Amino acid sequence: MGTFIELKAADGATFPAYVAQPEGTPRGGVVVLQEIFGVNSHIRSVADGYAAAGYLAVAPATFHRVKPGVDLGYTPDDMAAGSALKAAVEALPAPGVMQDIQAAIRHAAGAGKVGIVGYCYGGLLTWRAACQLDGLSAAAPYYGGGMTAGADLTRQPKVPVMAHFADQDSYIPLDSIKAFEQAQPTVEVHLYSGHHGFNCDQRGSYSAGPAATARERTLDFFSKHLG
């Protein structure tokens, strides 16, 4: 359904983004932020799904500054490679990849109001985008590792946020999710029975029921704030 295009960040750097077009007039734009595995077939299918729901979906390659063309699977070796790439992106001088996400938001804004959704590391970046970037109307991070602790715990969102977590996530302790709820009373937090990555149908941790419920909630949330 989609194609890759080139976007340009404020510092002049270019990077690819997968863009999926809806049929007819878009209801708005949705930026889709990848896991640590790149804009792989799963993330492209997620973008396609938001396009099928009526949104212009834009999935920027957030690892491009450290390694172009990342498209990993979900093996232990892929996990190790993705974790190393995430560390490299986190080590970039500020604003780092946030300027690429801002460029993706700008592109999505051609379709109207913009929401942002992200998974795993993309969930953390979605949370940061909600707190730091311009042009958003709503944000829906999924199991964003790191957003429930440290400096990210106390960031202040500029737009409505709906956060999705799993109660058996080995990367995001349950007590840290409770701390996040206490620190962020304006954020709508949903906790699902499952593990990290429950939304991804290519991972062993996939859980169809919670994934469907979270998607329905996110679509309702976007319909409310992007309509």
pLDDT at 66 (0 to 100): 98
Query: Across the chain, which distance is largest between two alpha carbons, in Å?
Result: 44
* Active-site residue, selected from the candidate residues 120, 195, 200, 225: 120
pLDDT at 65 (0 to 100): 98
CA distances for 17 relative to 39, 95, 191, angstroms? 8, 19, 30
What φ, ψ does residue 106 adopt, rounded to 5°? Answer: -60, -45
- pLDDT > 90 fraction of the chain, expressed in percent and rounded: 99
**Crossing angle of helices 98-108 and 121-132, rounded to 10°:** 70
* Active-site residue, selected from the candidate residues 169, 195, 200, 225: 169
Residue closest to 20 by CA, chosen among 40, 41, 1: 1
Q: Kindly state the DSSP code that residue 200 receives in the 8-state scheme.
A: -
Average confidence (pLDDT) over 13-30: 97
Topology given in CATH for the domain delimited by 2-226: Rossmann fold (3.40.50)
pLDDT in tens, 26-49: 999 999 999 999 999 999 999 999
pLDDT at 10 (0 to 100): 98
pLDDT-based confidence at 161, cuts 50/70/90? Answer: very high
User: Could you confirm whether 200 is annotated as catalytic?
Assistant: no
Mean pLDDT across the chain, nearest whole number? 97
pLDDT-based confidence at 227, cuts 50/70/90? Answer: confident
pLDDT in tens, 113-154: 999 999 999 999 999 999 999 999 999 999 999 999 999 999
- Report whether pLDDT(1) > 90: no
- Report whether pLDDT(171) > 80: yes
* Active-site residue, selected from the candidate residues 64, 164, 196, 225: 196
**b/e per residue, 73-83, with b = 16+ CB within 10 A?**
bbeeebeebbe
- Report whether pLDDT(62) > 90: yes
Average confidence (pLDDT) over 199-210: 94
User: Could you confirm whether 196 is annotated as catalytic?
Assistant: yes
SS3 3: strand
> What is the spatial distance between Cα 66 and Cα 153, in angstroms, rounded to a whole number?
26
> What is the spatial distance between Cα 131 and Cα 152, in angstroms, rounded to a whole number?
9
- Say how many C-beta atoms besides its own lie within 10 A of residue 136's C-beta: 29
Average confidence (pLDDT) over 52-57: 98
> What is the spatial distance between Cα 10 and Cα 177, in angstroms, rounded to a whole number?
34
pLDDT at 154 (0 to 100): 95
> What is the spatial distance between Cα 48 and Cα 56, in angstroms, rounded to a whole number?
9
User: Could you confirm whether 190 is annotated as catalytic?
Assistant: no
pLDDT in tens, 66-122: 999 999 999 999 999 999 999 999 999 999 999 999 999 999 999 999 999 999 999
**b/e per residue, 46-70, with b = 16+ CB within 10 A?**
bbbbbbebbbbbbbbbbbbbbeeeb
> What is the spatial distance between Cα 167 and Cα 179, in angstroms, rounded to a whole number?
14
